[in-house]
Amino acid sequence: MLLTVAALVAGVVVLARAADLFVDGASALSTRFGVSPVVVGAIVIGFGTSAPELLVSGIAAAEGAADVGIGNIVGSNVANMTLVLGIAGLIGAGIAVTSSTIRREVPLAIGATVLFGWFLQGGLTRVEGVILLLALAGALTIVVVGGRRDAADPVLAQAADAAPQELTGTARRDGIVTAVGLVGVVLGAQALVWGAERAAESLGLSGGFVGMTLVAIGTSMPEIVTSAKAAARGSSDLLIGNLLGSNMFNALAVGGVVALLAPGPVDDLKLTQVGVGAMIVSSLLALAFMLTRRTVNQLEAALLVVFYVMLLPFLL
């Protein structure tokens, strides 16, 4: 038990410091190379903070525990659009959302979520795994091309969040800072996941519930910490890009890997019906809030957190 508590505490400490480095480095790189902060958030930070989900779900699928891996994906996506977005909105006193994000990144994230949920109904196959990975490649292309177009548009560039304008050091240093922060975030998350799994075992909880709740929250800690840091600094584009990119990677990349490693039917109705339904509804709810005055205010952020808490009894 002492080792479990130590892992949880160490994970939180490492995550807090690593998230600072990660956001600083990614923000500096976006300014230095003239890349839209949304693109950096969706690809660099989104992929980086989804690394724990990819690792945990991939290992679970390879070891025959596909329900834990799938539950991790579903639970993480629900947590991102409710708990993480809500906490960030409360910390940042609201989150501004650019119109280009609503037109491009939001539909891609929701489309990825719906596609994964649809495939999950009949059980995942290797063909569907390949389709998910191909969809990821297409989505990333759209994000990169759209981000470059936004960066070249003076109106959109002025409306976007400002990453650090006064740069110090070199691009190499910024890259090292980002990489060190990413490694720290992943290691800290793994410590939390390990501690959560040990705690779950001692409480005798099921694999599907552990995947959708404890493991999902544990692997979502990078998103929670980095989004909170970005919100505190007013970097809404990085924040939104992080969450949308993370959901896109979870559904397409992690879902594709699980389908390739552990194809077959999924018998747990909590995952295929309640979990998938919650995943899609939470995405649409977040979109509805983003559409209202192009911002997620503190009241809406609080409602997202309440919505997540209300879902837990149904997942159990």
At residue 162, the pLDDT reads: 42
Higher pLDDT, 70 or 145: 70
- Please report whether residue 305 resides in a domain: yes
- Please report whether residue 194 resides in a domain: no
CATH number at residue 271: 1.20.1420.30
**What's the chain's average pLDDT?**
76
- Please report whether residue 166 resides in a domain: no
pLDDT per residue over 184-202, tens digit each? 877 776 776 677 667 666 7
- Please report whether residue 11 resides in a domain: no
pLDDT per residue over 127-168, tens digit each? 999 999 999 999 888 877 776 665 555 444 444 444 444 556
Structural domain count of the chain: 1
Domain that holds residue 303: 36-161+204-315
Partnered with residue 96 across adjacent β-strands are 295
Which two tokens mark 150?
Answer: 């936004």
- Please report whether residue 44 resides in a domain: yes
pLDDT per residue over 15-44, tens digit each? 667 766 776 777 677 667 666 666 666 666
Higher pLDDT, 238 or 116: 116
Q: Please say if the pLDDT value at position 8 is more than 60.
A: yes
For residue 243, the one-letter residue type is L
Q: Whole-angstrom Cα distance, residue 206 to residue 188?
A: 24
Average pLDDT over residues 247-273: 85
- Please report whether residue 274 resides in a domain: yes
- Please report whether residue 64 resides in a domain: yes
- Please report whether residue 182 resides in a domain: no
